């Protein structure tokens, strides 16, 4: 356990994130018992898919999404995989900027007694990137993030304790039991995608695998299993206790909005913003790998097989996982600048996205 603890913490931090705030809403929609079942089911699916990827990588000797796609689907599959990974991970990076830009300026404006303006939002985002995100993203070894990841996980444990304190009066008098739903199968289909995505970590599987000394299936299975179990426990805690605490109210997708206005709530919000900033580099590692593989095609010469029509060997030049320092820093800075600019220019992207989701769910 001690030898893999840092890898477990990094994997757990790559899983947990903004979705934890929506767990009380998910439990309200699905019901307490069904909500727990759906979380455990999503965790089971995550464990299985991660191990399928690791076993496929070991069998094919391809320890990245890009090379695995190249081995199975050829050049076209590799290209599609790279584009999908880049779009997905850059989209997550943009959403991190948007969430940080929505939460941090209001707190800063309150305590600095200034106007919460777009210029303040821009200044805070740029400052967070330069002082926190960029230095962490420039670390080459994902193991270096273990201490930061531990702080992030510690915050989510603290969040569970705060929500437990808020739920304690309802837990003691038992009034919540008559008001709470236990099963609500129809609404379960609304929240299952949220829970499944909340536990997804497949994009970081190969990054964590490569960081383990002498990696094998048994070690990776232990890392994935324990990381997913930690996140499932935290999600169930926030979801169950948050639903019990606010069972008499209309629970939305952000449980912090239900917290009383106080200095403690402001501190929780700030800690949450820093938790997102700390988690940002874990998205950068696989994104950087995909961009490097897409842009720099020359490197290792790989033979894919025999041409069926001419009986000649068909080979392609693809890049290895190693990145020279200039490329490493160039890709990192480019992704950060792009995601930052889009996060500043699209402050309502999160609201528009959730509005679209609500429309789709209301009109299947």
Domains (range + CATH), the chain: 4-296+320-361 (1.20.1740.10)
Q: Which of 157-161, 211-215, 329-333 has the lowest mean pLDDT?
A: 211-215
Number of H helices and number of E strands within the chain? 14, 2
Distance CA 169, CA 244 (A): 10
> Residue 2 above 80 pLDDT?
no
Query: Does pLDDT of 162 surpass 60?
Result: yes
Average pLDDT over residues 169-174: 86
pLDDT of residue 297: 62
What confidence tier does 363 reach under pLDDT thresholds 50, 70, 90? Answer: very low
Summary mean pLDDT of the chain: 82
β-bridge pairing 300-306 and 313-318:
antiparallel
pLDDT tens digit string along 231-254?
999 999 999 999 998 888 888 778
For 280-289, the pLDDT digits (tens) are 888 888 888 8
Q: pTM of the prediction? A: 0.82
What are the two backbone dihedrals, phi and then psi, of residue 182, each rounded to the nearest 5 degrees? -95, -40
What's the distance, CA 178 to chain centroid?
Answer: 35
Q: What is the pLDDT of residues 291-332, one digit of tens each?
A: 888 887 644 444 444 433 344 344 444 445 667 888 899 999
Q: What integer pLDDT is reported at residue 94 of this predicted model?
A: 87
Residue 323 is predicted with a pLDDT of 79
* Whether the predicted pLDDT of 188 surpasses 90: no
End-to-end CA distance of the chain: 46
User: Taking a C-beta distance cutoff of 8 angstroms, is the pair 18, 276 a contact?
Assistant: yes
């Amino acid at each position: 356990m001690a030898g893999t603890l840092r890898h477990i913490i990094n994997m757990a931090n790559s899983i947990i994130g903004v979705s934890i705030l929506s767990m009380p809403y998910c439990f309200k929609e699905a019901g307490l018992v069904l909500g727990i079942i759906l979380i455990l089911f999503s965790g089971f699916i995550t464990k299985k898919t991660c191990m399928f990827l690791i076993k496929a990588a070991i069998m094919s000797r391809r320890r990245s999404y890009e090379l695995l796609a190249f081995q199975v689907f050829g050049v076209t599959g590799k290209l599609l995989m790279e584009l999908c990974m880049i779009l997905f991970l850059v989209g997550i990076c943009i959403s991190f900027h948007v969430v940080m830009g929505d939460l941090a300026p209001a707190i800063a404006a309150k305590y600095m007694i200034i106007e919460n303006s777009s210029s303040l939002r821009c200044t805070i985002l740029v400052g967070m990137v330069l002082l926190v995100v960029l230095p962490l993203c420039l670390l080459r070894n994902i193991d270096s993030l273990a201490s930061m990841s531990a702080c992030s996980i510690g915050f989510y444990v603290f969040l569970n304790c705060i929500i437990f304190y808020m739920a304690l009066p309802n837990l003691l008098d038992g009034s919540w039991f008559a008001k709470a739903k236990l099963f609500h199968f129809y609404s379960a289909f609304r929240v299952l995608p949220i829970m499944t995505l909340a536990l997804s970590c497949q994009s970081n599987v190969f990054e964590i695998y490569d960081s383990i000394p002498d990696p094998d299936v048994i070690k990776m299975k232990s890392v994935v299993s324990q990381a997913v179990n930690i996140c499932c426990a935290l999600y169930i805690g926030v979801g169950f206790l948050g639903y019990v605490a606010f069972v008499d109210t209309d629970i939305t997708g952000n449980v912090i909005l239900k917290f009383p206005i106080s200095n403690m709530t402001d501190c929780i919000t700030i800690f949450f913003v820093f938790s997102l900033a700390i988690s940002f580099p874990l998205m950068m590692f696989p994104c950087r790998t995909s961009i490097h593989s897409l842009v720099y095609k020359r490197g290792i010469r790989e033979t894919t097989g025999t041409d069926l029509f001419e009986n000649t060997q068909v080979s392609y030049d693809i890049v290895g996982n190693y990145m020279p320092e200039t490329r490493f820093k160039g890709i990192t800075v480019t992704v950060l600048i792009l995601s930052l600019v889009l996060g500043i220019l699209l402050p309502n992207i999160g609201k528009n996205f959730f509005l679209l989701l609500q429309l789709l769910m209301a009109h299947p």
